[in-house]
Chain A
Amino acid sequence: MGALTIRRGREAALVEEVHEDVLQYLTFQLSGETYAIGILSIKEILEYTTLTQVPLMPAFIRGVMNLRGAVVPVIDLAVRFGRHETGVSRRTCVVIIEVANEEMQQYIGILVDAVHEVLAIRAADIEPPPQFGSRIRVDFISGMARVDNRFVVLLDVEKVLSVEEMATLSAMNGGEVADLREAEV
């Protein structure tokens, strides 16, 4: 565990040194495609360990894991994007992301097939998301970055991992218990 912890302080300092409008992104593989997330919201990257499955939850919530004493939910992004469940291989990782949830900070893990590298991307190289044709929900995309003549999808973490939306989803299709209780009280 704890394969590669990114020290945010140092990275942030690096960013400042390089340039004003250059930001760093972590790219990773997910069901055959490359996505990227701004490095500032990433807390650490861990090897996959066995997760504890939470019953009566939708499939995109893979379970919960123990992050040094804190219980952190792990999301299968592929399922969230409407693909098939992510299989577990040697390179499977959990990327721990810090999400602002109302007034609280919350950690959420995402399951990815493999982690690639940290890229510095200039703001000028980022295109707005296309209106359609991107194969995932448009509001999940914060921009398309041109890297070596191909496009990398930059994810909007706040939207993709919106606790509010995911909780509502799980109340709707996942938990019958919840559903019934809601109806009856």
Chain B
Amino acid sequence: MNLDAAKQTFLEEARELLEDMERILLDVEATDTTDEQLNALFRAMHTIKGSAGLFGMDEIVHFTHEAENVVDLLRSGHLALSEDLSGLLLRCHDHVKAMLAVVDDKATQQEMLQTSLLDELRHYAQPAAVDEPAGSSQASAPEQGGLRDWVMSLRFNEDVLRNGMDPSAFFRYLRLLGEFLVVQPVLCRLPQAERFDPESCYLRFELLFSSDASQQMLLDVFEFVREDSQIHIFPVGEAAAHWPQLIADADEAEQAAVRQAWLALGLDPDATAEPEPAPPAKAADKASDKASEKADKPATGAAEAKPPRASESRFIKVEAAKLDSLINLIGELVIAGAAANLMARRSAQSALVESTIAIANLIEQIRAGTLSMRMVQIGEIFSRFPRVVRDVSKELGKSIQLNVSGADTELDKSMVDKLGDPLMHIVRNAMDHGIESSEARLAAGKPAEGNVWLNAYHESGSVVIEVADDGAGLRKDKILAKAVANGLVPADSVLPDGDIYKLIFEPGFSTAEQVTNISGRGVGMDVVRRSIEQLRGTIDIDSAVGEGTTFRIRLPLTLAIIDGFLVSVGNATFVIPLETVIECIELPPDALQGDAHNCLNLRGEVLPLLGLNRFLELGQPHAKRQNVVVVRYGDSKAGLVVDELLGEFQTVIKPLGNLFRHLRAISGSTILGSGEVALILDVPSLIHFATSQEAERFASHAEHAQQRGGHGNH
């Protein structure tokens, strides 16, 4: 097996476990803890410890061991999860994360082990240990729940294999109930090779097993072999008392071998048979501790990694690159399928057309399925905000409540990855600049506790993500003054509200007088805008003074494939994203009179028209009959005047590349079935452009100094 790959898996798994851990810790701050949550906490630390051991990351093992001890006490009910403790555990979580980040750097890890966290952890672990001398209570209260160490002596009958029982199956099942600390096989019954019968079982095992199951439950595991095999299970403390029972049937060689095995387990078969459990138990404990450190590597590494998998095998982890190449291939398949369909239709053979249609249907399903594989819930990013809000609000001394909704909204995985940082910026800004201090809030007649909302939903083929706060709102005058001072806009400029708000996305802009730790250095908001635009998205701001601010990010659903509507203008073919198309109508003959802009009466509604031919300066001759594609974006509606409607077409978006990055009216290109390249219209930009061009036309007599290209029509 490739060790690097395994390590990668480990890191990935550890990351997930840590995420779980964080989520639980944040959850339990709000509500009471459940056993399940505590078990999950324990499992997180424990699994990381075990797997880290496999890779020889002793520092991580050491640290997580201490954390695990504390969590174990929580789990057994000896400690309550106070706010301090969950804070400490959160910091431990961070620390483990940091250690994992420098996994290849031993020296740094060594250094990181010198942390005061360990002392704090021990401080929690200590008093509990005094309350309860290790081992003794375990032995004296055998039926009490919680983790206990058991000694098992399994002497399988020779016939178990013939009876259809496989001893290894028991081990597999036991793993679900607990953890193997040490396993000592006793092999003295194995005969010489010539007398060896492969259908007979000669095995005997002596082992230490840690589990929270009761003795009866463990015995029940062996229900089917108990009759003819010798199965003994008892707590570590009572081991010596049962010794004679174990060796009753054994010959001398076997007795010696079993004794040897027991010594290896750290048990003393010759201890006095009276229930005086303390010394052997201690020995056993020590041994099991030592053993578990040793055994953790082979045993838990293998054992722990799998049981959780078994219950969560609903998910398969796939390398992102593999999925990407699959999606690329599907894209090619879509194009090839469209080409075949076109050919079939030209050939006018109905059987051929029918079969290509069947193939097209299948391709469509495959496409949908593959794309959905890439879709992930946005909750994946939202989930890290509770922690951020908690930390930042503590740091700022403000009381802020985070409200998350729409976390199940899905969008493309590659976008989710790139959205995290911009969202983080916005949320931090909202908390730092948006929400006022409690005093200021009370003075303004608002509840002392501020609110930040994270919301996501689908709207006409895009995903909208909103970050809202009920803080002070953006001060237009302040922003404008600052922008003028920075020379971003001329002093006498009059801007619509939305444009003023957008000034905060300019590089080097920050209205906060005080630069804090969290935000206000003026780096960030321009980066936010750039990252959103890279995802072909837009960002808008709504704000009301005293009531709050809403950042609205609008993103396309996916970056790879869209459903398009094919139209032609002269010789050129364009693709309009289908989700923006509402309907198509024929253009009344006299509706468009020489001007690029005009309006149409659409069932009593005013529909502004945009002649693509003129607008895009294609210089193509007009067709006799023209059509109008009614498109929508957000709240605006418009009619695009085109020559011919060619119908729906599945489109793989091919980026046009850097050369065309300034071209906003075209969002990309695609390859048609004929092999020709068609351009995909960016409807929002088109409408936006048309709006601004119109505004400019009517205001052309007024001087607009801020507009460089002040000649809208040639």
- Chain A residues in the interface with B (C-beta under 8 A): 50-57, 61, 63-66, 69-71, 73, 101-102, 106, 108, 163-164, 166-167, 170-171, 174-185
User: Does any Cβ of A come within 8 Å of B518's Cβ?
Assistant: no
Interchain CA distance A79-B470 in the complex, whole Å: 56
With a cutoff of 8 Å between Cβ atoms, the chain A residues found around residue B505 in the complex are: 185
Interchain CA distance A57-B685 in the complex, whole Å: 16
- Chain B residues in the interface with A (C-beta under 8 A): 332, 335, 499, 502, 505, 572-573, 616-618, 654-666, 669, 671, 675-679, 685, 688-689, 692-693, 696, 706-709, 712
Report yes or no: A52 in contact with B678, Cβ–Cβ below 8 A: yes
B504, chain A: closest CB distance, angstroms: 12
Interchain CA distance A174-B709 in the complex, whole Å: 11
Report yes or no: B617 in contact with A170, Cβ–Cβ below 8 A: no
Report yes or no: A167 in contact with B709, Cβ–Cβ below 8 A: no
Interchain CA distance A154-B523 in the complex, whole Å: 45
With a cutoff of 8 Å between Cβ atoms, the chain A residues found around residue B679 in the complex are: 52, 54-55, 64
- With A73-B656, A163-B658, A184-B692 in contact, is A64–B677 under 8 Å at CB? yes
- Name the CB-closest residue of B to A173: B709
Report yes or no: B671 in contact with A170, Cβ–Cβ below 8 A: no
Pairs A-B, 3 closest by C-beta atoms:
A55-B616, A178-B662, A171-B662
Report yes or no: B677 in contact with A170, Cβ–Cβ below 8 A: no
Report yes or no: B663 in contact with A52, Cβ–Cβ below 8 A: no
With a cutoff of 8 Å between Cβ atoms, the chain A residues found around residue B656 in the complex are: 54, 64, 71, 73
Report yes or no: A106 in contact with B707, Cβ–Cβ below 8 A: no
User: How many Cβ-Cβ contacts under 8 Å join chain A to chain B?
Assistant: 114
Identify 23 residue pairs between A and B in the complex whose beta-carbon atoms are under 8 Å apart, listed by A's number. Answer: A54-B656, A55-B618, A55-B679, A56-B617, A56-B663, A57-B660, A57-B663, A63-B677, A71-B654, A73-B659, A73-B660, A106-B657, A171-B662, A174-B663, A175-B665, A177-B665, A177-B689, A180-B693, A180-B709, A181-B664, A182-B662, A184-B499, A185-B505
With a cutoff of 8 Å between Cβ atoms, the chain A residues found around residue B332 in the complex are: 69
Interchain CA distance A88-B179 in the complex, whole Å: 78
Report yes or no: B689 in contact with A53, Cβ–Cβ below 8 A: no
With a cutoff of 8 Å between Cβ atoms, the chain A residues found around residue B573 in the complex are: 52
Report yes or no: A179 in contact with B708, Cβ–Cβ below 8 A: yes
- Name the CB-closest residue of B to A1: B675
Q: Of A50, A64, A176, which one neighbours B709 at CB under 8 angstroms? A: A176
- With A54-B666, A183-B708 in contact, is A170–B572 under 8 Å at CB? no
Report yes or no: B661 in contact with A183, Cβ–Cβ below 8 A: no
Interchain CA distance A127-B332 in the complex, whole Å: 47
Q: Of B499, B659, B693, which one neighbours A167 at CB under 8 angstroms? A: B659
With a cutoff of 8 Å between Cβ atoms, the chain B residues found around residue A53 in the complex are: 572, 618
With a cutoff of 8 Å between Cβ atoms, the chain A residues found around residue B502 in the complex are: 185
A75, chain B: closest CB distance, angstroms: 9
B672, chain A: closest CB distance, angstroms: 9
With a cutoff of 8 Å between Cβ atoms, the chain A residues found around residue B660 in the complex are: 54, 57, 73, 167, 170
Interchain CA distance A56-B574 in the complex, whole Å: 14
- Name the CB-closest residue of A to B663: A175
Interchain CA distance A135-B641 in the complex, whole Å: 44
B660, chain A: closest CB distance, angstroms: 7
With a cutoff of 8 Å between Cβ atoms, the chain B residues found around residue A182 in the complex are: 662, 708
Report yes or no: B663 in contact with A66, Cβ–Cβ below 8 A: no
Interchain CA distance A185-B332 in the complex, whole Å: 36
Known contacts A54-B666, A177-B665; can you find 10 more A-B pairs with CB under 8 A?
A52-B572, A52-B676, A55-B617, A61-B659, A71-B657, A163-B658, A166-B659, A176-B709, A181-B689, A182-B662
